Homo-oligomer: A and B are copies of this chain.
C-alpha cells in the first residue's frame, strides 16, 4: 500500500499516483517497442490500427495521422516502416480510390495481441480484489480524471494563442 508522505495533501497524493501511473505506463510502452525494434510511435500506430480493425472500421493513413497528431508525410514514413516488417498492409479503398485502407496480417494481429496480454492478465489478477461497488468508484474516478485532463488541455491551446503569462 502506498504511504502518504508527511507533508502531502490528499489531492497531492492522488496527483503523485496518477502521474506515476502515466510515467510507468509510458516506460512500459517504450520498452515494449524497444523489445520489438519498433519506435514508440510505431507501437502507438499499431494500437490505433488494431482498435480500428476490431471495430470493423479499417483506418486510413490520414485518420491515423490525425489520431497520432503526425503530419501526412511522417505517417507515410511510419507506414513504410510497419509495412516493411510485415505489421501492416496497405490496400486501396473500393469506395474512394484516393483512400488507402490499413489492414493487419493475421500473424501481426496475433503478435499485437500477445504484446498486451501479459499486462491485461496481471491487471486482472491485482484487480480481482475490488468489489463491484469499489469498481464503480474507480470508474467514476478514472472518468472524471480523464475529463479533467481533456478540459485543461483545451485551455493550453487557448493559452498558447494568447502568449505565455507574465513572469
Contacts and interface: CB of A to CB of B under 8 A. Distances in A.
Number of copies: 2
Main secondary structure of the interface of A (DSSP, over half): helix
Contact of A24 (B125, B134, B141, B153): B153
Contacts of A25: 18, 22, 149
Interface size class of A (residues with CB under 8 A): 35 or more
A30 B67 CA distance: 13
A14 B10 CA distance: 23
A72 interface: no
A156 B24 contact: no
Interface of A: 1-2, 10-11, 13-15, 17-18, 20-22, 24-28, 30-32, 34-36, 69, 107, 110-111, 114, 118-120, 122-127, 129-130, 132, 134-135, 137-153, 155-157, 159-160, 164-165, 167
